[in-house]
Structure 1
Amino acid sequence: MSGRWLRILLVVVLAAGIAVVLLNRDRIDPAALEAWVAAAGWMGPALFILVYALGAVFFVPGSVMTLAGGALFGPVWGTLLNLAGATLGATLAFLVARYIASDWVARRAGGRLAKLIHGVEAEGWRFVAFTRLVPLFPFNLLNYALGLTRIPLVAYALTTAICMAPGALAYTYVGYAGRQAVAGGETVIQTALIALGLLAAVAFLPRLVQRMRGPSEWVDAAELARRLEGGEPPVVVDVRGPDEFEGELGHIDGALNLPLDELEGRLDEIPADRPLALVCKTDRRSLTAARQLRTRGFPEVAVVRGGMTAWRAGEGAPSGRG
């Protein structure tokens, strides 16, 4: 069978399988899955990993599988088996997408899509880590989307396994707590409280990661002035409003004025192939803008420390007023 026909066959099989799952989502029964895996005896763990992996490929909700793993195997083995199944499934979906469509997307992508793919590839494993810890997209869809990039397979799989571990532990423990609640016992309340604590920690994790991640770099006003005089100057993006841009502090000559509240809708105005330097009055709005741009695939984003206040204080070059 030629490569073209094999790709067509894979697309048909995937489409049919995903359609069946989506049409029968309400009929997916974790209890039936648990009984089926338990009946497999010593082959149960391997069977569970395989089912989890295939479920990820065909868009079975990962939460169903993870809760079932906790109920079947407990918090420790359940976490390990859930993580193994989720990582294997994520890798299979990644490889399928890469085989079927990555070359086609690379040839056809343009505009904002090309900019996004370029930014994701430049970030590499860091982008994978960020999206696994701060899930911006559904797990199953993200696996296929990342397969359309040129992120290395090994980096993708390892980062996926490591960065999904906190969530896997929390949801596995919830499944275990549910089984304990049904069975009864003296430790039910304690187990439930631990499960709630883990869920709260996972819910807080995205905010913590975003705070730690910050912009790709900070740049002082004096350093920015030197870079602007160099051979490959950055694009200065001023995220203040038009009144401030033309106001008392003025603006840096050549700066692109994209107010923060308009940034999302004007990404096409930002050059995709040059580094960016973000500036506002201080640096608070610039920091927010940097986080937005990084999640949209811009890899080289610097925040001007102190903003136009520092620039006008003599640390940078003279500013203009249009």
Structure 2
Amino acid sequence: MKRKLHILLLTLTITTLTTLTTIYVPQVHAATLTLTINCKAQYDLGEQVIINGTLTQDGTPVTDALVTAQINKPNSTEPWIIRTSPTGNTSTVHWSLEITNLTTADSGGNPKTTFNRGEYLGFKVTIKNHDLTPHDAKLYVSAFYGNEIPFGIQKIWEGTVQAQEQKTITVWPVFEIPDNAPTGTAFATANLLTDTPTNGGFAYCPEKTSTFQIESSGGTQPPTPTTQEGTYNITFRIPDMYAKLGNYTVHVISYYPPLLAQNTTTFEVILVGDLTGPDGEPDGKVNMRDIALVARAFGSYPGDPNWNPIADLYPDGKINMRDIAIVARNYGKEAIP
């Protein structure tokens, strides 16, 4: 009888503990990092591109992270632009690797801030490993005119930065200043990455920016992005001549330990006013053929014998001076189809 009682009590005890264990197991919630991306669907030659979005963790804005963007030209896997934007105040963040200095340089690696058209541009970059472990990295530099039009990007170094090491990288030549470059203030950026964003890579630290002069002083300083906390903002401008037409790919990525978020979108570069060419199709040029096409439809409405819908560039159902002005604005521009 006692044995049966002991077994019964033991069974009740085990059942109770099992029930309690089941009730009090903590529910583990996996955090979610979400990165959004916004930009217009189409941009004209010479137009400013604005890429922005939000970074949130479980719906809460992340205000101390970085978002790196890579923009590729149509049918290309190589980066045309790489930029990094903070989502807020990152001054207190510990960066494993950090770019501590970016200087434009001459052929001897000496600092130089004024360059003539046709002259070569070099760079001197210092990076610091703040960790007790080595890190592999890739260093990309880009050059922009003061109006934000890019004119070069290149990976100037790839390797390992040892624990606590400070490394200085000097490379010349990197870019040649084009013969038709606008004079005035230009700027360069340096981005230190684990890999390119399209390969799942992200920035180790904020990008570094340095200004230099082309031919003479003057011009404008590079714009300082203004963002709300938890958002990022990246701007640049489509070249106003000989830009590649078609669909560009934008890939953004952010690493907020231990979470990684990324997103992709596209935009199309078009040449507004390029309506026709020698064979009747757009030819990547805005010239008298395009003016004549709009002029032939001038004053017409849908249903009129001379109505031509492609001439209605200001889409209001009539061909008038607004449409002529749009073609005239881009007159003489050429693009690469």
Which TM bucket (shorter chain)?
under 0.3
The answer to which structure has the higher helix fraction is 1
The answer to which structure has the higher strand fraction is 2
| TM-score, normalised relative to structure 2 | 0.22
| TM-score, normalised relative to structure 1 | 0.23
